Amino acid sequence: MSNNTESNIPVKFTENSNNEWINWIEEAIAKDYFKYYELNHFSNFQEIGFGGFGKVYRVNWKSSPNYLALKSFFNFNNVTIKEI
């Protein structure tokens, strides 16, 4: 996550506006509201939980000894986009 304290991004979407949700997520990444990392930057995947949207893994980032939680999604659909 970014250290940017501005977190109010205006959201004006309809139920069927998947592309607008995706654009909103991409804009949030571009403005550093969210951080985007390539999957190959992580190692030592260990599944630690799962739920209705996906699985959670304990991972290392690059060669760091620290552990992070990484969430993966089962389906990237309108419901998942809203969860993000």
User: Within 10 A of 24 (CB to CB), how many other CB atoms are there?
Assistant: 19
Contact by Cβ (8 Å): 23, 10: no
62 is in an annotated binding site: no
**Beta carbons within 8 Å of 72's beta carbon, 6+ residues apart:** 54, 55, 56, 57
Q: Which residues does the annotation place in the binding site for ATP?
A: 71
Q: Which residues does the annotation place in the binding site?
A: 71
